[in-house]
Structure 1
Amino acid sequence: MVEERKHSLSPSAWNRYETCPRMYWLSRQGLPKKTGMAASLGTAVHASIEDLLQIDLSGREPAESNWLLQEGDTVLRKRWEEEKQLFHETPRHPTWKEEKYSEAQKQQKGAINMLLDHVGIQGLAYERVTVALWKKIQSLVIAVEGELVTKDGQLMGRLDLLLANVDDEGNLTGWLVADLKTGKPPQGKLKPEVNRQLRMYRDILLSNNEKAPPVQAQGWYTATSSKWDAVGENVLEAAYEAWDATQPSDTPLDPTPGQSSCGGFCDWKAWCPHWWTWRHENKSLHRGDFADGVVLIHQYDEGRSTATVEECVPRNELGEIESTGEMRTVRFDGRGKESLEALLDAGHQGPLFLGSAMMNRDIWRVGPWCDVLPWAPIPDSGRP
């Protein structure tokens, strides 16, 4: 059992457990981590907004304007470079896309728009934001990038912004949990898992502060500068039930094979035999684009970056392979090529897991976004 720290449950871990308990269990086993461009971009934008809200403006003229965009770009560039380094240090990562920086700038501006809206300002050009106006926004900030933890330490989450809600006279009327989201905005209402995440933040705050004012929780979607309210009953009782069900164990939790787990994106398929069996049984193994598979390498042409591979199917529920004789040509490029060659240089022999490969074609493609990993399924009995 790898997990030795005190057991706690976050909203993202809760969602993972509900999708598939085995997926959750694997995520806690110290397996090689994976990151992506969207996550790094989001973290850089989040951190840059937190920096702007904590910037020291003392000694500057209240009427000074035409400063915000320059300061914003300075902190964003700093955070961008930090994220780039962490990205490349993460064992499993695709190609870094420097051209995404312009998108990060747009997302940062979207967050600034919502902060201005919080003090009743809409449509103001960034160049006209004065030091005095930004100080007014700062005066309503209670906390940035804080860790929310229940008093018993069992439930936790990462708080982006905790802001004061005030009336026209400046009197406190409540607290606002604002969670910055750089992903796709909702269609009509928040997704259930996001709504529950925000309610969990709200409810932890209320449980820790008996004399707290009314607490509102919102998802702030930076792409469209739109705010979405979380609504619903207290979720802590259900969260504690999930905490109890996710206690650390040497024995893997049961899988829940299905379209949302085995058929979707999961970072831990190279260590789980059940998605493979599920795919094989419903005849979708090695079919389609952004598909996963298990293969044996028969020949690799480094000059052409192509390999001859043999499709494998499950021999049993342990994840042992059975050769099929079905041969495929696969072209590797970018990080996919680098990962394969690193494994071959290290002397790897045996089956490989190919994640998110383009298989709906005569010549498969394993590109920069793909996983190329040793096939090492952990059986239901746990690690040897």
Structure 2
Amino acid sequence: MPNSTYQFQFELLNQEVSNDAANEPNRGKATYQKSSRRVHTLIDLYQGHLRHIPRYHSMVLTVATHPPRNGEGLEMEIEDRNNLHQLSPSSWNRFEECPRKYWLSRQGLPRKASMPASMGTAIHNSLEDLCNVDLSGMGAEEENWLPSSAREALEKNWEIEKELFLNTQRRPRWKSELFPKALDGLFGSLRVLLRKAQLAETDLSRVSIGHWKKVLEIVIETESTLVSECGRLMGRLDLLISNSEGGSESWIVADLKTGKPPRGELNENVRRQLLLYRDILKQNRPNHPTVHAEGWYSANQSVHQAKGPPILEEALEAWEGMMPTKEPLEPTPSETSCSFCEWKAWCPSWWNARMDGNLTPGGMFRDEVTLLIRFDEESGAALFERAPPIGNSGDLTKSDHRFGAILKDRALEKMRKMKSSGFEGHLFLGSARVDGKVMHLGDWSEILPWSPLLSSVTHQIQ
């Protein structure tokens, strides 16, 4: 194995640390086990170096690996790259939607797991596994192997994602009943890839080993990290394939989409993501042929090409505006930016906009900032009082607006824990289901302390 460098991100939660690296506070050692797409690490860093790093703080490490000697495990030299500020498509989209949302996403706050994201990751990783499958010992004419291999790959990745999901503090219920939908999504992705290899077979059981080898001939890379020459822009493409339609070779940067397909033009966020991938790839490989960027939607096997001029200069301008700051960036509350924002418990701006009438309350599911008045731990019955804002800093006051609620499952467990801990502050209620004058909170809901964040806890001078 040649010398390699990996760059990856992880969260410091409650790692056990020791003083083994006392003389090198910024360096340490790690051992790793590498699968087709993951580098699993066991970090051993000097405790004094971690002393001032807040819980849930994200670090980016550059890891240089050396070839093993005599069957020994690989050693890694680890350099703390905590100060590295990079723009990714997702962070750029958050910044464009609402600079405050982006700023909050960079503060090391606990992230929320979602079933669509976990399902999408399982499908992505399963497709990658199938693009790296070992076909040795299988005859070219052998059929009826792909559906079972796809199911096996998805079952493995489904369990991996389930474990990560269930170990996440902020999460709804894991929906095992969505596995058939995920399998359909994987099958849809495979059919798009077969079409790109000019194989029109839609019955996956009839795809032979010879057919699949033809597919693999067009696959250049899977799950590849892209980083611009300046190091400021990055992304993660799903597939890079070659295309010879029309008689001349071209490359296709493909991003697999497991969500709802567009009816017309690509969503601007998706278009920007694909163009960024396209342009970083072209910068990294100056001898490239023509490069196209496409979104592949597994739900209906549709392919949508992203078209547009070079976007790297625009991305670098955004990077400048996204530099880490101690003070929060300006909020731009709107239905689009606030509807599915996961940082509302730390953002007073959306609540001000809601109380000012600039945001609608929502339909069947609503978010509230409240004070708990009464709570029956046995039945889960509760009485809340809405807490309107005073000013723009998250301070709250009393009101005459009270409503009853029924808590069950994880919402009930969370409220019991908060009561037993002696918590008496204001609460953010997320995704409370409205039923007449009563709200219902369960596995789909969130109950969090109202904790407006008005100054960065992770900011460092760059």
**TM bucket normalised to smaller:** over 0.9
1:297/1:310 contact within 8 Å kept: yes
Q: Do residues 91 (structure 1) and 169 (structure 2) align?
A: yes
2:400 maps to 325
Please state whether the residue corresponding to 1:60 is helix, strand or coil.
Answer: coil
CA distance in 1: counterparts of 2:163 and 2:427, whole angstroms? 28
Please show how residues 1-384 of structure 1 align to structure 2 within 5 Å: 4-167=82-245, 173-262=249-338, 264-282=339-357, 288-359=363-434, 361-379=436-454, 381-382=455-456
Contact preservation (8 Å) 2:334, 2:359: no
Could you list the structure 1 runs, at least 4 aligned residues long, displaced by more than 6 angstroms after superposition: none
d(CA) in 2 for partners of 1:209, 1:101: 38
2:387/2:397 contact within 8 Å kept: yes
CA distance in 1 between counterparts of 2:87 and 2:306 reads: 20
Paired residues of 2:386 and 2:402 also in contact (CA < 8 A):
yes
One-letter code aligned to 1:219: G
Instruction: Output the amino acid matched with 1:301.
Output: D
Where 2:332 maps in the other structure, the secondary structure is coil
Greater relative contact order structure (CA < 8 Å, 6+ sep): 1
Equivalent residues, number: 380
SS in 1 for 2:318: helix
Pair 345,5 (structure 1): closer, same or farther in 2 beyond 3 Å: farther
- 2-structure distance, mates of 1:18, 1:167: 36
Partner of 2:148: helix, strand, or coil? Answer: helix
Q: Percent identity?
A: 43
- Using the alignment, how far apart are the partners of 2:196 and 2:441 within structure 1? 46
Moved more, 33-42 or 320-329: 320-329
> Is the CA contact (8 Å cut-off) linking 1:9 and 1:154 kept in structure 2?
yes
Conservation of the 8 A alpha-carbon contact between 2:295 and 2:303: yes
Residue type of the alignment partner of 1:185: P
Q: When the two structures are superposed, what TM-score results if normalisation uses the length of structure 1?
A: 0.95
Q: Which amino acid aligns with 2:268?
A: P
Q: How far off is 1:382 after superposition?
A: 4.9
Q: Is the 8 A contact 2:223 2:239 kept in 1?
A: yes
Work out the CA distance in 1 between the residues paired with 2:151 and 2:127. Answer: 11
For the 8 Å contact 1:330–1:364, the answer to whether it is kept is: yes
The one-letter code matched in structure 2 to 1:320 is D
Unaligned runs of 5+ in 1: none
Q: What secondary structure does 2:398 align onto?
A: strand
The 1-side partners of 2:369 and 2:199 are apart by 55
Structure 1 residues 374, 99: CA separation in 2 closer, same or farther (over 3 Å shift)? same
Partners of 2:228 and 2:291 in 1: CA distance: 16
Q: Any stretches of 5+ residues in structure 2 without a counterpart?
A: 1-53, 59-81
Aligned partners of 2:241 and 2:420: how far apart in 1? Answer: 53
CA distance, structure 2, for counterparts of residue 124 and residue 184 of structure 1: 21
Query: What is the Cα-based RMSD across aligned positions, in Å?
Result: 1.8
Distance in 2 between residues matched to 1:370 and 1:294, nearest whole Å: 13
